[in-house]
Structure formats: structure tokens, C-alpha cells
Amino acid sequence: MTISDTFDAVHPVNDRYTPPQTGELDQIAAVFTDGRLSGGAPVLAEYERALADWFGVRRAVAVNSGSSAIHAAFVALDVRPGDEVLVPATAPIPTALPILTCGAIPVIVDTGPGSLALHAADLKAKITARTKAAISLPLWGYPVDDADAATVLAEAGVPLIEDACQAHGTRIRGQYAGTRYRAGCFSTHDRKLLSTGEGGFVLTDDLELADRIDHYTHLGHLKGTQHGVNYKLAAPLAAIGLTRLRELHTQLQQRRDNAHQILAGLPRDGSILAELPYAKGDEPNYYNLVLTTRPDKAEATATAFAAAGLPPDSSRYRYKPLYHQPIFAQYATPCPNAEQLTATTIQLPVHPGMTPSALRWVTDRTHALAEGQP
């Protein structure tokens, strides 16, 4: 037996997915032949068109990171110093840092019970005259049902954006995550489903908003009339994205197949584990397979997964509600649902690079732990 066939805490399943090469180097070579490597090269327009078509939206603006995408969306929505932005307590650090980049104030909102969606009543209580925007977050690529929150926000005239940085291909109520509200922000960092190494993009059907984002991220098009930053994506990275986008449907199918293999044998009765719930007809992209465990078993279950070399985010990244991070501590507010959700979720790798034996091992370990076996 080779090392790669033996899995435990010392030889864990590789959770890093490296997509097979499918012509990236040829596409980069074409960029070199053209000679223009900057974010102004023709391949950028081609990449943005391909993204807009894939997701079925009117415009995509490519930028150099997901953080840049979120920041640029806020600026285009006129989020200014002292303004308030509503953010779910389940948000990881990179979702909320762009609020601080604007000099704005993160207003942390609890999630619904057992859900990643913004809690509509808590949200409503936290809207003020200074509220400029709100964030919906399909974390781990899981569908979020933010319909109630979206209604409250629409009534208050507050724009909602999606941080879909982990949600390429996630389906919610027949639409792709990141295409449902004013703007969808994506990352193409190496750990995401579509990777260009570093990078990101914003999707929107609002052409005026797209123009403002494009203007801001391209130094105000050097007109000297308005402030701008340089968030352009370099041409070789756009070439990688253009090539890999063609494989995204295949990757999504493989992730779903892997997730379903693990879920298939999961005991239904008496199990201490179940998949994080979502509405019928919706589809996670399986950035991770996410299981929830009973609160009374949460700590022991997380410890058991960690001991098996499958550490959940709570132990691996010390993932907790946002206000547990020192930089956001001053914005703390009671969020009991988010506290419970972050403590009771287990994230498992299901990427297409997993070998059959790795997948079988994760399946066997998960089923044993679901039955309460060590």
C-alpha cells in the first residue's frame, strides 16, 4: 500500500484541489504572442464576456481578488466612511474586511436558526438611516434562503450584494448564487472552484453599476475626474480563467457525485450527523460537503473528525462568529444562532482530485462517526 492510500491524522486526505491542465499554457502562450500582458489586453474582454455568459448576467468585471470585488461593489454603491453595512455573523474575515476598507461600520446580524441566511427580524431591528448595503453569504457554496431578508431590505431601500466567493455554480431558487441581487462578488483565489491563482470578478445586471465598478477598479479610466484604484486582473490570469471556466460544469458534477457518495450511506435514524439543510431544488456547489451535528455532540464530533485528519473549520481555522476576531470585537452583538451553527458544522473535502480510496475512507469514517463509533 502506498502512502496515498493510507489515511489518518498523520497522512490526511489532501483537501487541496489542483485542476488538471486543460490548455491553460496554450492560452497563456497566445497572450505572450499578442505581447500585451496587462489588464488592458483583449483577453480580458473575452474573459468577462465568457463569465457573463456562463452565469447568464449582463456584465462581469474582472478584478485582482475577491476582496477587491467586494470593496469595489461597496464603493459603487456609495458606501462611505461612517456608513453601516449589514453582514451575517457567520461571515469569515475576508467578507467583512472590505467594510473597514471603506471606513464603514460592520453591523453584525444573526443568522436564522440552523441557517446561513440573514435573520430577517434581527436585520430589520438593525437598519438605521446610515445603512448603505447588506451582504448575503452562501458560505461553503451552500444555498441560502435570504428571501425574507431581501424583502425587508427592499422595503428599506438598502441594496443587497452577495459574497459568492465560495459559491461558483451554487443554485438557489433556479438561479446561480451571485446573480440574485444587485451584485455578486467572486474570488478566483487558488482555493476556489474557479482559480486563476489570485483574482476575482463582480457580476451584475445593472449596467450603470457595472460601469461604476469598472471605472473605480481601472484608475477612473485615467480621466482625472474621479478617484479610482488599480484592481485590474493581469492578462495571463484572465487566460487561465478563460480556459478553466470551460471545465467548471464538469468539476461541479464531480463534486456533487462525491458528496452524494458520502451522504448515501449516512444513517438516517439515530444519526448524530446530517447535511446542512437547504431548500428542495437548490444545489450546493460542494466547495465543501457540510454536515451538522447535534449541539450536545458538537465538541466530541469535531474532536473525532480532527483526530481522523478531517479537521472542521472550527478547529482548523478557529472559525467562529465574526465578532470573535479581535478586529471586529467592538461590533459584537448577541448572535445565538450563528454561535450554534459555527460550533455544530463539519466541513469535508469532496473535490474531484480525491482518489477513490480517499473518498471511500472519508465515507467510512463519516458513517462510523455518524453512528457514534470512535
Distance CA 21, CA 177 (A): 26
Instruction: Please tell me whether residue 141 binds ligand PLP under the rule CB under 6 A.
Output: no
Instruction: Please tell me whether residue 100 binds ligand PLP under the rule CB under 6 A.
Output: no
Three-state secondary structure call for residue 2: coil
What sign for the dihedral angle of Cα 148, 153, 159, 160? Answer: negative
Query: Could you tell me which of 367, 261, 266, 365 has the C-alpha nearest to residue 308?
Result: 365
Q: Which of 19, 112, 184, 200 binds ligand PLP (CB under 6 A)?
A: 200
Q: Which of 27, 65, 111, 243 binds ligand PLP (CB under 6 A)?
A: 65
Q: Which of 27, 90, 95, 366 binds ligand PLP (CB under 6 A)?
A: 95
| Angle CA 111–114–119, to nearest 5 | 25
Please say whether the beta carbons of 203 and 70 come within 8 A.
Answer: no
Instruction: Please tell me whether residue 15 binds ligand PLP under the rule CB under 6 A.
Output: no
* From 87-95, 117-125, 126-134, 301-309, span contacting ligand PLP (CB under 6 A): 87-95
Distance CA 161, CA 206 (A): 12
CB of 216 to ligand PLP, least distance (A): 16
The binding track of 160-189 with respect to ligand PLP, each residue x by CB under 6 A or -, is: ---x-xx--------------------x-x
The residues with which 348 forms a beta bridge, in sequence order, are: 289
CB of 138 to ligand PLP, least distance (A): 9
CB of 287 to ligand PLP, least distance (A): 8
Q: Judged by CB under 6 A, how many residues of this single chain contact ligand PLP?
A: 12
Q: Which of 13, 19, 28, 66 binds ligand PLP (CB under 6 A)?
A: 66
- What is the C-alpha R_g of the chain? 21
Residue nearest to ligand PLP (CB): 66
Instruction: Please tell me whether residue 217 binds ligand PLP under the rule CB under 6 A.
Output: no
Give the CA-trace dihedral at 191, 194, 196, 199, to 10 degrees: -80
CB of 97 or CB of 266, closer to ligand PLP: 97
Helix runs in the chain, H state only: 24-34, 42-55, 66-76, 93-101, 120-126, 147-156, 207-217, 235-245, 248-264, 298-307, 313-316, 336-344, 356-370
CB of 157 to ligand PLP, least distance (A): 25
Residues that bind ligand PLP (CB under 6 A): 65-67, 92, 94-95, 163, 165-166, 187, 189, 200
